[in-house]
Chains A and B, each alone.
Chain A
């Protein structure tokens, strides 16, 4: 580890990896630190991503593509199903990844591009000079280092401590933190080309249950519920165990993972002097699906580009970095997040009777477009009463 770099990236997830890779490709000296001893483990993810989204960054590789999907099936509280994609999907829809391998591949690419990578290296505080972030205190193998950087990119995921230490409020409201548990289940009967989403207030309050195939008779089976719905006897794992006892009583559990996904609005500002916040740390996971791999990669890459330009121009002030915030917020990512937040607010609190009637109204339809926008438009078409209940949402679509 050197004493100073152009760019210091905190966190070795998809956001940090893309930031480090991009910054290194642009000619910056880059240090990426990851506090866990192994990149990507333990996994905190259901590993689903859209094919088109992934293609913006990397060619799919059988080493880390676990399953190739052509449809998503939404299942209502009474078991009624609504399928999106299938024969109409034209080879689109998505993949389920093997993130232990995927995340490592992304970090390897950053290293190949010239970034220095240090694992089991944890930032414990920013170095602040005149109230501005100027590097970080880093602990590794019992040693403490002071590392200076012109720009720090905080890609420290759901914990988001680094930006908090630098004075940005990153705390997620309890009601907007989806608390999650997931098993890898083996030896189960599933459609290996379909992602399943179960919606039910009773079975997954203010959240949903997912079954994402990972190959032959194997799937990620998990649940997210709102933090406010969690407590003794009714935690994410309790709900998941109940679901599995009902749907997959003979499944064999070969892995347990847990995690938190934010479903809140993004940080009010994702930049400060010499600091850019990306991915989950900036609270950029999707408020409906919880998906955040793409959003982290997209903002990571953008942060690397903006950092390189700012350093070249000799101005890394908040004002100079603001172009990062503006670009994602006013672009399609920011719009999708704002719309999906509104959709979430509208639908999350519905009881099972309403959810049933919505899914019933959809069950005869077929939809090729898997986007949330297309889906919600169809839901409004099939349920005219919703327009009365949610006029603002309809206008926002």
Chain B
């Protein structure tokens, strides 16, 4: 499962712009993921983040 480290995220939107599913959005002070849209788990967002704020937790 995708996990956003709020203490690391810089609220920049880089990940939002590359997510092919439109699953990510900056809402108020936070990056938010819609798990129902993030189906294929492509991990593009995890790669692109300049800070490494997105990590994967295997279920």
> Bound state CA distance, A174 and B43, in angstroms?
11
Residues of A near B26 (CB, < 8 A) are 35, 159
Binary A-proximity of B21-59 (CB < 8 A = 1, otherwise 0): 010011110000000000000001001111110000000
State how many angstroms separate the Cβ of A76 from the closest Cβ of chain B: 24
**B48 contacts A260, C-beta separation under 8 Å:** yes
Nearest residue, chain A, Cβ from B42 = A174
The contact of A179 among B16, B25, B27, B48, by CB within 8 Å, is B48
Residues of B near A179 (CB, < 8 A) are 14, 48-50
**B13 contacts A158, C-beta separation under 8 Å:** yes
State how many angstroms separate the Cβ of B20 from the closest Cβ of chain A: 5
Residues of B near A177 (CB, < 8 A) are 14, 17-18, 48
Answer whether residue A155 sits at the interface, using C-beta atoms and an 8 A cutoff.
Answer: no
> Bound state CA distance, A131 and B28, in angstroms?
28
Binding site of A, secondary structure by majority: helix, strand, loop or mixed?
mixed
**B49 contacts A235, C-beta separation under 8 Å:** yes
Nearest residue, chain B, Cβ from A160 = B17
Nearest residue, chain B, Cβ from A120 = B28
Binary B-proximity of A204-244 (CB < 8 A = 1, otherwise 0): 00000000000000000000000110111001110000000
**A259 contacts B14, C-beta separation under 8 Å:** yes
Residues of A near B28 (CB, < 8 A) are 35, 122
State how many angstroms separate the Cβ of A166 from the closest Cβ of chain B: 12
State how many angstroms separate the Cβ of A190 from the closest Cβ of chain B: 23
**B22 contacts A157, C-beta separation under 8 Å:** no
Residues of B near A295 (CB, < 8 A) are none
> Bound state CA distance, A157 and B13, in angstroms?
9
Of residues 221 to 276 in A, which have CB atoms within 8 Å of B's CB atoms? 227-228, 230-232, 235-237, 256-260, 262
Residues of B near A180 (CB, < 8 A) are 12, 14, 50
Answer whether residue A80 sits at the interface, using C-beta atoms and an 8 A cutoff.
Answer: no
State how many angstroms separate the Cβ of A14 from the closest Cβ of chain B: 16
**A259 contacts B13, C-beta separation under 8 Å:** yes
Answer whether residue A161 sits at the interface, using C-beta atoms and an 8 A cutoff.
Answer: yes
Residues of B near A132 (CB, < 8 A) are none
Residues of A near B10 (CB, < 8 A) are 42, 256-258
Nearest residue, chain B, Cβ from A173 = B18
**B51 contacts A159, C-beta separation under 8 Å:** no
Answer whether residue B19 sits at the interface, using C-beta atoms and an 8 A cutoff.
Answer: yes
Answer whether residue A171 sits at the interface, using C-beta atoms and an 8 A cutoff.
Answer: yes
Answer whether residue A392 sits at the interface, using C-beta atoms and an 8 A cutoff.
Answer: no
> Bound state CA distance, A258 and B54, in angstroms?
14
The contact of B13 among A165, A174, A232, A260, by CB within 8 Å, is A260
Nearest residue, chain B, Cβ from A169 = B20
**B13 contacts A236, C-beta separation under 8 Å:** no
Answer whether residue A44 sits at the interface, using C-beta atoms and an 8 A cutoff.
Answer: yes
> Bound state CA distance, A159 and B27, in angstroms?
12
Answer whether residue A302 sits at the interface, using C-beta atoms and an 8 A cutoff.
Answer: no
**B51 contacts A235, C-beta separation under 8 Å:** yes
Nearest residue, chain A, Cβ from B50 = A236
A-B contact pairs, 21 of them (CB 8 A): A42-B11, A44-B13, A158-B13, A158-B16, A158-B17, A159-B13, A159-B26, A165-B22, A172-B17, A172-B18, A173-B18, A174-B44, A180-B50, A228-B47, A230-B48, A230-B49, A235-B52, A258-B12, A259-B50, A260-B15, A260-B50
Starting from the known contacts A179-B48, A236-B50, 6 additional A-B residue pairs (CB-CB under 8 Å) come to A122-B28, A164-B22, A237-B51, A258-B14, A258-B51, A260-B50
